[in-house]
Structure 1
């Protein structure tokens, strides 16, 4: 059996794991929607669509939607299911079987990407009544889904590193909290040029900023290829790094 087929089978298994516990998806959708509604409710009148240049005629909800998308993509459950496999001994059985080490890693990441794609579409639909449109059109919507899904895979890869290293559900859950400082060290509420100088420096050094700005450009403007190149470049670089580190840990796993 080829590594590609093994990856597909393990990815399907990971998707079935999520489907068996649909209640676990509720916070993944509820919390991003909660942040979208609250932030729009608090600042929507401060930044009216007709007199705020960085909104390009849309409501403040359109500016906040990328934050909610990234938040939804960073609730990856793949690592927790991996911990269950480790604790139950199934992961050791997979390692003992003639299964590609790459399939062990990438299968779960692909499943996480597919789940994130569905969440992205759901969030965009939920945001429509708040005056949000995808200014970049159908192509932009596809790129929005793809970029958010890739970020979901990157963060799931980071969580899997913690799971493989600690083999602990508690430590893995705690590791996910690292995203919140990263999210709030971005131009989350206003564009980067309106931040104070220390905050602007922090946002510029934060790789999540470039993913957020790429998502925001797809929602508020026509296709901005330079902004998109930076966003996709970040997820490509960190995605390759996460796969490499995961493979290294799996091969050295004892």
Structure 2
């Protein structure tokens, strides 16, 4: 990407974002193993919890596969975004971001383009995992529209955490350190309602598990896909959980988006 590729001396935010996004998408397409690794992890979790652990976990009358898949999809969006941390750190270390700073384009466009391209990768992995989930017996009980709405929520949540991981990549200083920071997602994913009801956890752990953002989004996706059965199990309406999930998502994007852009603007 050079100055000659930009439309004049003041590239718009939209054009600059699109150019960085396109570069990120091409980079992913040239390294298909990045997508393959994310899919292998999601499929492994799906099969293990569906066929190995599922028969031993009670979920209050709901079929375990219907309980587990909304959690799995939410966590998939989280884990698939981890690669954004090392990608951002690598671009920073190799001087790609320094070259972009010298071009007449908004600084926000650079980070936004990076986030959008990573989110496209996350969404693709989510779509494949959703198809496999239906193949293993998962069913929605509120119509196909609910399945699309749930996928949209998971993609939005993945978008929010891509901002988190890009920020960690910019702050880490190296791709190796960034990859290590990414595994901070582990406690958020497992200390949640993804695979087991929060009520089965020790009391001292329940407060964190119930109110942390991953559980909030999982409950929203579960309520959207399972309708009345999930509302009975969870205790509130679908709108209640979706509203909480959107508030958490907006807060994550606002906080980490601000940090990422601020860090990028500082040489």
CA distance in 1, matches of 2:101, 2:73: 34
Q: How far off is 1:88 after superposition?
A: 2.3
The aligned residue for residue 4 of structure 2 is: none
Deviates more, 1:28-37 or 1:222-231: 222-231
In structure 2, distance between residues paired with 1:135 and 1:60: 14
1:3 to 13, 25, 29: 13
User: Match for 1:39 among 16, 26, 49?
Assistant: 49
1:92 aligns with 2:98: yes
Partners of 2:265 and 2:189 lie apart in 1 by 32
- The Cα offsets for residues 210-247 of structure 1, whole Å up to 9 and x where unpaired, read as 01111222232268111111112211111111111111
Task: Find the counterpart in structure 1 of residue 262 from structure 2.
Answer: 248
Write the distance in 2 (CA, Å) between the matches of 1:25 and 1:43: 26
Count of paired positions: 247
**Is 1:104 aligned to 2:110, yes or no?**
yes
Secondary structure of 2:183's counterpart equals helix
Task: State the alpha-carbon separation in 2 of the partners of residues 136 and 13 from structure 1.
Answer: 39
Question: Relative to structure 2, which stretch is displaced further, 87-96 or 38-47?
Answer: 38-47
Q: State the secondary structure of the residue aligned to 1:45.
A: helix
Residue correspondence of structure 1 range 57-136 to structure 2 within 5 A: 59-73=63-77, 74-76=79-81, 77-136=83-142
Q: Can you give the 5+ residue segments of structure 2 that lack an aligned partner in the other structure?
A: 1-10, 229-236
State TM-score, norm by structure 2. Answer: 0.85
State the TM-score, normalized to the length of structure 1: 0.89
Matched residue of 1:171: which SS?
Answer: helix
1:236 — aligned with what? 250
| 1-structure distance, mates of 2:227, 2:200 | 19
Q: Secondary structure at the match of 1:44?
A: helix
1:199 equivalent in structure 2: 205
2:163/2:257 contact within 8 Å kept: yes
- Report the aligned-residue RMSD: 2.0
Deviation for aligned residue 1:129? 2.5
**2:176 alignment partner, SS class:** helix
List runs of 5+ in structure 1 lacking aligned partners.
none
2:131 and 2:60 map into 1 onto residues whose CA distance is 24
Distance in 2, matches of 1:154 and 1:114, equals: 13
Kindly indicate whether the alpha-carbon contact (under 8 Å) linking 2:57 and 2:196 is maintained by their aligned counterparts in 1: no
Q: Distance between the aligned counterparts of 1:54 and 1:6, measured in 2?
A: 51
Q: Does 1:172 align with 2:172?
A: no
